[in-house]
Chains A and B, each alone.
Chain A
Amino acid sequence: MSQAPNTVELDEHLREVVTALHRAVNYATPHVGEPKIVDKAIRDCKEILEVVMEGNVAEWVR
């Protein structure tokens, strides 16, 4: 059975996205009392998630 187009590429892209989100959250969580660190992490997560929510897969796997 043939694999669907971009199966591996999308898998790898989303793996990187998830890693980036976890990295931001895991770094900020012990520093939750330090607004500069936490606010940056939340901004970074927001930026990453906005791209995921747009779902422009063609752009991601280009």
Chain B
Amino acid sequence: MFRDKVELKDFEKMDPEYQELLRRILTIQADCEIGGPHLYVEKMLPNAPTKLDQLIVARTAAEEIDHYRKVARLAGDIGADLSFVLSSPNQKRYVEAFRGQITTWEDFAVFGFLIDRIGRYQLEEFIGCTYAPLERILPDIIKEELGHIEFGATKTAELASKSDESKAKIQKAVNYWYIKALDMFGRSDSKRSERYCHWGIKRRTNAQARAEYIKEVNPLIEQMGLRVPDPNKGRLYL
């Protein structure tokens, strides 16, 4: 297992596998960060329930754009130009969860609750990682993702307790995004996942991270009076 700290000046001397894996993970991270606003800005900025909610949508998008900026800067410094993801159509996103559009407040809430939480998990993979510049940008990004998660969780709980009709809409959103979330961890038998761990870029395998997520999020869903969806139904990556 590789555990040395790598700075930008050391990168070009690193094993080609390390270089490729880092470029790949930065590309996917950047794509996910900007993929979020591309999902919800068009419909939710004008249509959020209150003026304050509209401002929160704008602030959330601003923070995700800033996360993209920071990750893209790291990638650019190692020669990887990630500007193309800024104009990628949604259907071309690396991660399937970002190929679509969010058109309801219920989906926006649950997206924050469940998918931004995946964002937190993915960022936490890099805590202590061997690429030091990546580790250094984490604290502010994770802090802001925690804000998105908290907002999403609060709104999901509110909507779940508002009325039977509202609860049914929120349950439908949870049914949709829960499965997308589990798939975001990738395949449990991924060899690449093991290589990320070998090089100290990530801390856990896909399977380990997914198991921890399920353990964390299932009680939260149940505490809201909602049903945890079948974790295997409709999955693309087991």
Contacts and interface: CB of A to CB of B under 8 A. Distances in A.
A55 B86 contact: yes
B38 interface: yes
Contacts of A10: 69, 72, 76, 83
B77 interface: yes
Contacts of B8: 1
Q: Could you say which interface size class chain A belongs to?
A: 35 or more
Contacts of B45: 42, 45-46, 49
For the complex, would chain B's binding face be called helix, strand, loop or mixed by DSSP majority? Answer: helix
Contacts of B88: 55
A57 B83 contact: yes
Top 10 closest pairs, chain A to chain B, by CB:
A7-B76, A55-B87, A55-B86, A21-B62, A4-B81, A45-B58, A14-B69, A1-B12, A4-B76, A57-B83
B60 to A, nearest CB: 10
B168 interface: no
B46, B59, B75, most chain A CB atoms within 10 A? B59
Contacts of B41: 49, 53
A54 B52 contact: no
A54 B89 CA distance: 10
A10 B51 CA distance: 31
B38 A6 contact: no
Interface in B70-107: 72-73, 75-83, 86-88
A17 B86 CA distance: 14
